[in-house]
Structure 1
Amino acid sequence: MAGSRLMAMPTLQDVSISLRNLRRAWPEQWPGLPLVFDRAWAQLGLPTPRKGTSAHSLLAFGRLVAEQVEQDGIRRHAQGLEPAYHNRLHIADTLVCMTYLLKTSALLDVPGARKPGVAAMALAIMTGHDFLHPGGSNAQPGEFEARAVQDLQPWMTEAGLTMADRQTLEDCIMATDPARVKGCHLQVRTQAFDLMQPNCLTVLVQEADILASTLPQTSLGLTQSLATEWAPKQPEAANQLMLPQNRLLFLEHAALFSSPAATALGVDTVKLRQTKRIERELSKRD
């Protein structure tokens, strides 16, 4: 069953439907992040990694982190303190988006896409990239990313990750800092895309992190959530987020996609459609 799903090329409509299903469950009927993680792995149709392999340790790590994020989210939600954007739903969004990017990459025969170790690493990174996020935005570059990396150390040790895997995981999480995105995309555009290369995996992680915010079906709700999260400490910045000019800046300078999977899914076409519409709206105001 899982293998047959790999036969048909995914579409952005498939991604949107999966994201919509998450929102139907959130938060009252939430199935829990560990289940989302398990389903993401199952969707890839890859063989179960043998015990003692890097892929096995990475899946164990991802599952451990998913459980920690879920328990932390439940606790903070009960206190009214779970961030409006950087919450369990965001992590689930990124797992879904990464799953579709990996499935598409596999169908395109992107090197590394069918390797269990690569896929397990990708899902583990998404699960931990905003680990125990306090809400808000970085006061200095890499602030919250470095904090996540530090807080994940005990779970890396418990799962028995190799030093090489720890380094890849840490580097990819640090690269989800918005200030790092453009440089990473510029770097991979001059080489063949290979997910066994850390810089290409980094770009796929960055794409999975912002794909839901790029799609028109989910972008408004996510922008509103981020504005709500920023409002207590950055009210002016929160208000700016909702302006069409800010959406245009996001689409043109932050929502960057360079992977073959993103190209095959047609993400840039969806971006262009949105930018043209916003530009028309803004020109009518002038």
Structure 2
Amino acid sequence: MTTALPDLWIDWCSVIGVPAREINQAVLSRFARQAQPSRAVLAELRRLLAPGDPVAPAWPRGHREDTGSLQLLIRRGTTIIQHPGTHWVFRLRLRRMLFTAVLLAPRSHGGLGLDRAGALGLRPDGMNRVRGQIGVTPEPDACPACATWSWLDVIGTNSGWSHGSVRALGHRRDEVGSAHRHLRPDPNPDWHLCVGMLPAVDRWGWIDAYRSMHPSSLSAVISAAALLLDGPEPAPGPRPAAAAMQASPRRQMSHEEEEQILKRADELTARVEAILREFDTGR
């Protein structure tokens, strides 16, 4: 039986001149950029892209069948990264966590499906070979390719510049808008000189330039990612002034309800930060 393809995909392929049945990651990424499809359409195409998708053994078991889980994790992690109150070292660790998720998530999710040894052993030449296989989404704040770009910026800065430059990058948040970071040239191509792609980040923000993190530290990063996936939405940053906000027809949340939701979200963020801080010792 032939599987039905989404109408938007068929129409786009006919305009571009691409065979609709020949789905590959490069064409799918182009489709995501140009056609702005829904998450459901992208998920369906990714399932067709990799019907024999490896299990991705390091990805949280409860989310292996959820093709939107990688995007959800990146979006939630980005919310914390964008919060002005996030400590700069925690922000660096979050960027590394999102990059780790891209390495470990199933290919049908937009990741690479690596196991733990494959992620820890990945070198710049290997990253160059597989980078084009990383998924792209219409939303920059949930885009695996953009999360990858941001972490490569960090380790490239660490390799070629001073610790002060790394600290400045840790304080920086992503620009708000519709532009995808991964479409820009790499700002710090010195990441090609790194020994590994997943170094430790100590409590002062020093990044180990000579070896990958310990396997136990990688397990902690995976645990933190699973916690972020299973928990409530992280607390967003300060909202615009009330006068600048559009009126909403929905039920207005009481101050007590809002405080309770934000408290739970803050508790989740604190738990994620504690996990990454406690086990991120390198060796």
Higher helix content, 1 or 2 = 1
Q: Shared topology, TM-score over 0.5? A: no
Q: TM (normalized to structure 1)?
A: 0.31
Q: TM (normalized to structure 2)?
A: 0.31
